[in-house]
Copies of this chain bind each other. A is one copy, B any other.
């Protein structure tokens, strides 16, 4: 298909497609004449992935480039490829000073918790720092989290991941579709879960207070 049709099918405006081509996020089409290039289904899939990362995951373009590199390099195994997407979705805190004891203790607590759960999580997973930051904030606000509190959320998350979420990823299809599915499911069902929590709390508040 021509670039105009690629734009119509993907919903991405032509100037944006040209920007992705210049940035190398999208590979060039097959040049069929001096002014005309031909695009195929792989380009459509790639555009969907870029949109999912940008619009759904709010991933910055520099981080999208890393994800795309992992998708394109077939020597990158699927687990590592999905990991680049997971890590791109994180919003880790600013680096902490080496002497910040409160922070160091929280980070140790997180590492011990994850090890205790037996989870296979990389030592540099940004979620470790994000979780430590959450613990520091709760402590600073005078509502420190207990290990029992954290385990409730950890086990709830694992039940969802194991029984409902990872089964949705089409591991055997094109690599960019697997990454796109992971990003959309992680972000959008994360949003749904957040909203459901507030609605459930409202409902429980009505029940408890007999309002």
Q: Which residues of A contact B (CB under 8 A)?
A: 48, 51-52, 56, 77-80, 82-83, 86, 89-90, 114, 119-122, 125, 127-128, 130-131, 134, 137-138, 141-143, 145, 149-150, 152-154, 156-162, 164-166, 171, 181-182, 184-186, 188-209, 211
Q: List 28 A–B pairs whose Cβ atoms lie within 8 Å, in order of A's numbering.
A: A78-B209, A79-B206, A82-B202, A86-B201, A90-B198, A119-B200, A120-B206, A127-B195, A127-B196, A127-B198, A128-B199, A134-B195, A143-B188, A145-B188, A149-B189, A150-B192, A156-B193, A157-B196, A158-B203, A160-B197, A161-B200, A162-B200, A162-B204, A165-B204, A166-B208, A182-B201, A186-B201, A190-B197
Known: A131-B195, A196-B154, A199-B125. Is A184-B143 also a contact (CB below 8 A)? yes
Contact of A89 among B120, B127, B160, B198 (CB under 8 A): B198
Whether A154 lies near B200 (C-beta < 8 A) is yes
Q: Is the beta-carbon distance between B153 and A121 smaller than 8 angstroms?
A: no
The CA of A192 and the CA of B166, in the complex, are separated in Å by 19
Q: Which 7 A-B pairs have the closest CB atoms?
A: A79-B211, A157-B196, A161-B200, A120-B206, A119-B203, A79-B209, A158-B200
- Would B79 and A165 count as touching, CB distance under 8 A? no
Contacts of A128 on B, CB cut-off 8 Å?
199
**Can you name the residue of chain B whose Cβ is closest to the Cβ of A211?**
B79
B-side contacts of A121, CB under 8 Å: 199, 202-203, 206
Contact among B83, B131, B165, B201 for A161, CB-based, below 8 A: B201
List, in ascending order, chain B residues with CB within 8 A of A157's CB: 193, 196-197, 199-200
- Contact in complex: B86, A202 (CB < 8 Å): yes
Q: In the complex, A176→B185 CA distance in Å? A: 36
Tell me how far the C-beta of A7 lies from the nearest C-beta in chain B, rounded to whole angstroms: 16
State the CA gap A131–B194 with chains docked (Å).
Answer: 10
By a CB distance below 8 angstroms, the chain B residues around A197 are 157, 160-161, 165, 186, 190, 193
CB-nearest residue of chain B relative to A51?
B141
Which residues of the partner chain B approach A120 to less than 8 Å between Cβ atoms?
A: 202-203, 206-207
